[in-house]
Amino acid sequence: MLRRTFALLVLFFAFPAPPSRGSAFSIWELGARSAGMGTAFTSVASDGSAIYYNPAGIGFQPGTHMQMDGLVVVGLFRFFPSSPLPGTVVPPNGFSGSIRPHFIPVASLYITREMSPKITFGFGIFTPFGLAANFTNFHDADPALTKFTGRWAGTRAHLESYWFQPTASYRLTPNSRIALGIAYVHTHLFLEKSILNPRGDGLEFGREAANTIFPGVDQEQAARVIARLLPEGRSRIAGTANSPAFNLGYLYKHPEGKFNFGLMMRSAVTNHLSGSASFAFPDNYPLEPFVGPDLLPKAFPSQAIKGSFTTPATYSVGVSSAALKKMLISFDFRLQDYRRFASVPLNFSVTKATDPDARTPAEQRLTFDFRNSYQLAFGIEKPLNPRIELRAGYLFDRSPVVEKSVGPLFPDCNRHGFTVGSTWNSGNMEFTFFYEAMWFVERNINVAANANLGTNGDYENFAHLFGMALRINRATKHK
C-alpha cells in the first residue's frame, strides 16, 4: 500500500505546472499544514515540509514519512493605465494580467526517515521561487490602440526554480537538532515582450537605418518616420540553468511545548542561463515595399543567448509555544536579500561584430534594482479532538519590487494573507487542507522614465490559494 501510494505521488509530481506569483517571485505556501498557520512554521517544522521551512525539524519526526503537498492559485491581476495615448481602448475592468491556466497547481514532495535516535535523513522536491504572468490578452493583428499599453515592458513571464534537496538532521541534545541540506537547483526562465516601440527601441532602430532607407534626409526626422512605419514585433527568450545550493537549520523544542525556537538559512543561487532568443514580425507592413522582406529577419535573427540572475538568500527566525490551553501559537520573521536581483544581463551571440546586418546588441541588461524584503507570519493550531486539528494564520509580505520596476513582469505590491486550515487523521494517514485569501495593497505608479513603456497607472491584485496534503506515517524499529 505504501509503495503504491508513493508511486502515485511521484507520478503526480512528474507533471508540474508553473508556480505562482508571490513576493516578486517567492513562494511561501509549500506545505498545507504550515500555510494554514500563515506559514509561521520555522519553530514548528512538524511535518515533511520542514525540509523547506526548517530542515532541523525532520530530526523530531521518528519513523518514516512520505508527504505530497499540492497548491492551487487563482490570481486576479488588473492594470489601469494613468496616461494612455489618445484613443486607447482601456477595458472597463482594466487590462487583465491573467495567469494561464487560471488554476495553477504547484506540487511539493517530501520523504523523511529516522536512521537512528541521532540521525534522520530526508529528501524534498519543492519550488521556493516561481512566477507566472500573462498580459498577452490581444492578437498581433489587433489595432495598436486596443492592446495592453505596457506590452513594451513585457507580456508574458514564466519562472520555475526546482530544488532537489537531500537533507540530514543530527541530534545535538535531547531537545535540539541541527540540519544541512545540499540542493541541486534546476531553473527555467521564459520572457516575452513586444519590440520596436515607436517611442523606444523602434526609434533607436530608425536612427541606425535612417541613412540607408532615407539617404540625405535629416537623421532624426527619418528615424521618427521609420519608427512609425515599422511593424510591432515580438521577442521571446528562454533559458535553463543548473546550480548548487544549501539549506541550514537549527531547532530547539521544549519537551512540554512551552517554548520552541528555530533558525533557518537558505542560500542564494546564481543561475547561469543558456538558451535561445527568437523574434517574430508580421508581413506586409507599410515600410516593407521600400526595404524588402529580409530587413527585420536579418536585423533580429534567432540565436543562442546566455544570461544570469540571482535568487535571494532567505533568513528565518521563529518562536512558538503550546503552553496556553494546548493551543500552539507561532510567530516567524523572515528576511530576503532581494538586492541581489539588481539586473538580468542577456548576452546575444549574433551582433554587428559577427554579422553586419544584425541589430541585436552584445548585451541587453534588464535592470530591476529590487530592495530587500521581509515577511511577518503568525499562526495558531488547536486540536479539536484526537483526529482533527484546526488552524488559522496571518502573513504580511513586504514587496521587494521598487516603483520603477513595477509592470507586467512584476505587478507586485505589499500583501496581506489570511489563512485557515485543518488536518484529519485516519490511521497512519493524514489529510490536510488550507485556504488563503491574499490581498495586495493597491499600488499607483508614476515614474517619468517609464512613460514610454506604458506601465504607469494603478495595479489592483487579489489571489485565492487552496492547498491539500497527504502524509503517510510508518514507525521505524531500531536494532
pLDDT digits (tens, 9 = 90+) for 239-249: 999 999 999 99
For all residues of the chain together, what is the average pLDDT? 90
Give residue 258's pLDDT band: very low, low, confident or very high (50, 70, 90). Answer: confident
Residue 26 DSSP one-character state? B
Q: What is the pLDDT of residue 99?
A: 56
Q: Which of 381, 334, 311, 373 is closest to 161 using CA atoms?
A: 311
Give residue 13's pLDDT band: very low, low, confident or very high (50, 70, 90). Answer: very low
Contact yes or no for 274/240 (Cβ under 8 A): yes
- Bridge-based pairing of strands 260-266 and 269-280 is unpaired
Answer whether residue 313 shows pLDDT above 50. Answer: yes
Answer whether residue 160 shows pLDDT above 80. Answer: yes
Answer whether residue 259 shows pLDDT above 50. Answer: yes
The string of DSSP codes covering 247-316 is EEEEEEE-TTSS-EEEEEEE--EEEEEEEEEEEE--SS-TTHHHH-TTHHHHHS--EEEEEEEEEPPEEE
Confirm whether 364 is domain-assigned.
yes
End-to-end Cα, the chain, rounded Å = 24
Q: What is the pLDDT of residue 477?
A: 60
Confirm whether 208 is domain-assigned.
no
Q: What is the pLDDT of residue 104?
A: 62
Answer whether residue 105 shows pLDDT above 50. Answer: yes
Q: What is the pLDDT of residues 319-351, one digit of tens each?
A: 999 988 889 999 999 999 999 999 999 999 999
Residues 371-394: what's their mean pLDDT?
A: 96
Q: What is the pLDDT of residue 8?
A: 43
Q: Which of 234, 232, 205 is closest to 286 using CA atoms?
A: 232
Residue 274 bridge partners (DSSP)? 240, 306
CATH of the domain at 137: 2.40.160.60
Give residue 134's pLDDT band: very low, low, confident or very high (50, 70, 90). Answer: confident
Q: Which of 335, 344, 377, 129 is closest to 245 using CA atoms?
A: 129
Exposure class string for 264-294: b at 16+ Cβ within 10 A, else e = bebbbbebebebebebebeeebebbeebeee
Q: What is the pLDDT of residue 54?
A: 98
Picking from 9-18, 229-238, 310-319, 460-469, which range would have the lowest pLDDT averaged per residue?
9-18
Confirm whether 363 is domain-assigned.
yes
Q: Which three cell numbers stand for residue 192?
A: 516575452
Contact yes or no for 95/57 (Cβ under 8 A): no
Distance CA 358, CA 361 (A): 8
SS3 210: helix
Residue 271 bridge partners (DSSP)? 309
Q: What is the pLDDT of residues 52-62, one digit of tens each?
A: 999 999 999 99
Residue 45 DSSP one-character state? -
Answer whether residue 4 shows pLDDT above 60. Answer: no
Contact yes or no for 36/421 (Cβ under 8 A): yes
Query: φ and ψ at 60, to 5 degrees?
Result: -100, 15
Residue numbers of the domain that contains 105: 2-196+231-422+430-474
Residues 399-409: what's their mean pLDDT?
A: 94
Q: What is the pLDDT of residue 403?
A: 95
10-14, 47-51, 289-293, range with greatest mean pLDDT: 47-51
Task: Report CA-CA distances (Å) from 95 to 79, 326, 404, 441, 457.
Answer: 5, 48, 19, 18, 11
Q: Which of 171, 52, 152 is closest to 111 using CA atoms?
A: 52
pTM of the model: 0.90
Answer whether residue 22 shows pLDDT above 90. Answer: no
| Residue % of the chain over a pLDDT of 70 | 93
Confirm whether 361 is domain-assigned.
yes
Q: What is the pLDDT of residue 439?
A: 93
Q: What's the number of domains the chain is made of?
A: 1
Residues 369-383: what's their mean pLDDT?
A: 96
Q: What is the pLDDT of residue 141?
A: 85
Confirm whether 380 is domain-assigned.
yes
Confirm whether 211 is domain-assigned.
no
Distance CA 44, CA 25 (A): 25
Neighbour count for residue 100 (Cβ, 10 Å): 13
Q: Which three cell numbers stand for residue 116?
A: 537512528
Give residue 283's pLDDT band: very low, low, confident or very high (50, 70, 90). Answer: confident
Q: What is the pLDDT of residue 2?
A: 45
Task: Report CA-CA distances (Å) from 427 to 69, 114, 431, 465, 474.
Answer: 19, 20, 11, 28, 10
Contacts of 351 (CB under 8 A, 6+ apart): 358, 360, 361, 362
Q: What is the pLDDT of residue 14?
A: 42
Give residue 181's pLDDT band: very low, low, confident or very high (50, 70, 90). Answer: very high
Confirm whether 89 is domain-assigned.
yes
Confirm whether 174 is domain-assigned.
yes
Distance CA 8, CA 4 (A): 6
